[in-house]
Each structure stands twice: as C-alpha cells, then as structure tokens.
Amino acid sequence: MIHRTIFDDNTDLESLKHVKSVAFLSHLNTISKEYVFLQLAKLHDPAIIRGNKNLSLEYIVEYGGWDAVTLATLRKLHNELNRFANLIKPARHKMYAHFDLNSLIDNHVLGAFEIGDDVKYFNALQEFVNIVYDKAIGGPCPFSTYGEMDAQIFLEEFYCGANKSLESVPFGNMGGEK
C-alpha cells in the first residue's frame, strides 16, 4: 500500500513532477514497484522447496495447526490471493528475480492486472493476516494502515523538501568533500 499511497492514489504527484524531482520520483516508482512484486511473489512460494521451509502463505495454511473452520477460511483466502499472485509471478520470474533476455528483447508485458485488483488483493491479504494474528497473538494486525501512515509521513517530508528553494540546497558539496 506504500507504493499505491505515494504514486497511484496521490493527487498531488503531478505538482512534484518538475525538474528537481522528476528523475528521483521515476526511480523511486520503479524501485518500489519491483520490490512489491518481488515480495508479493515470495509470499506465494511453495511451503517447502527441496527440503527447505519457506515462510509463505502456503506454509502458514498447511502447517499452522488450525481448527477446521479457520483452515477452511484460510484456504479460501489463499486461493483468492493466488489468483492475483499468478498474474504477477511471470514478472517476478522473468524481470525482477532474473533478467530473461527474450522478455527484455521482445518487450513483453509481464505482471499486468486490472485496475483495482491490487486493492482487492491487499484487502484479502489483510483479512488473512488478521485471522492468523488473532489466532496466534490476539487481535488484528493492521499492516496496511501502518504502510499508508509511513507513506503519508514520507510524502509530507518530501513536499517540504520539494518546496524549498534551490538556493537552500548545498549542491556544491554533496559528497562530503573538503
């Protein structure tokens, strides 16, 4: 949700696309998008690969020792989450975890999904996490709220910096030189 808050849902983003910040925002957009895809894909790794356990959604569902009702709910959510994950896995496999030469040359679109599918995914993931957290620790775990708050704090600081005049930025000695 951090990426969405900063880039997709940010109505003030256009005001920051000026000479001083456009390259930085472009890099930050790419970095955060790639990181989100990679981390989401890792959540959907198999529970066990070549004898090694992965802390993935599948592992939590299958090895969590849940009661029958909770297990059925988690399996249903896991299947729902997998539908979105299957859309982004090709991007993980061919662009973010590796650089597949043919995909780069052919400029294949990988990881595409319909507008709003990511929001549905994160809502379902939040529900999944809340169930697991409630059963294991007690109460909800509002990870998406924390991410949104962090993004808002970042944006407030970024806006403050973007609004300062160029005269206040010490471009001449940025590398710690004497």
Q: Check if the beta carbon of residue 165 is closer than 8 Å to that of residue 157.
A: no
Residue-level pLDDT at 99:
74
Scanning the structure block, which residue is given the tokens 């957009």? 29
As a whole number, the mean pLDDT across the chain is: 82
Provide the CB-side half-sphere exposure for 126 (13 A, CA).
Answer: 14
Scanning the structure block, which residue is given the tokens 């595409």? 112
The more confidently predicted of residues 141 and 94 is 141
The more confidently predicted of residues 47 and 96 is 47
Residue 26 maps to a domain: yes
Assigned token pair, 140: 């909800």
Residue 174 maps to a domain: no
Residue 50 maps to a domain: yes
Indicate if the pLDDT at residue 78 is higher than 90. Answer: yes
Residue 72 maps to a domain: yes
Residue 149 maps to a domain: yes
Task: Find the domain containing 59 and state its range.
Answer: 2-10+20-163
Could you give the 3-state DSSP secondary structure of residue 67? coil
Highest mean pLDDT among 22-31, 67-76, 164-173: 67-76
pLDDT, tens digit, for every residue of 131-153? Answer: 999 999 998 888 777 778 888 88
Residue 176 maps to a domain: no
Strand ranges (E), 44-147: 48-49, 52-53
Predicted confidence band at 53 (pLDDT cuts at 50, 70, 90)?
very high
Residue 173 maps to a domain: no
* C-alpha distance across the termini of the chain, in Å: 41
- The residues with which 52 forms a beta bridge, in sequence order, are 49
**Distance from C-alpha of 93 to C-alpha of 133, rounded to nearest angstrom:** 30
Average pLDDT of the residues in 83-102? 79
Question: How many structural domains is the chain composed of?
Answer: 1
Predicted confidence band at 175 (pLDDT cuts at 50, 70, 90)?
very low
| 40-44, 113-117, 158-162: least confident range | 158-162
The more confidently predicted of residues 168 and 154 is 154
pLDDT, tens digit, for every residue of 58-73? Answer: 999 999 999 999 999 9
Indicate if the pLDDT at residue 29 is higher than 50. Answer: yes
Residue 126 maps to a domain: yes
- Check: pTM over 0.85? Answer yes or no: no
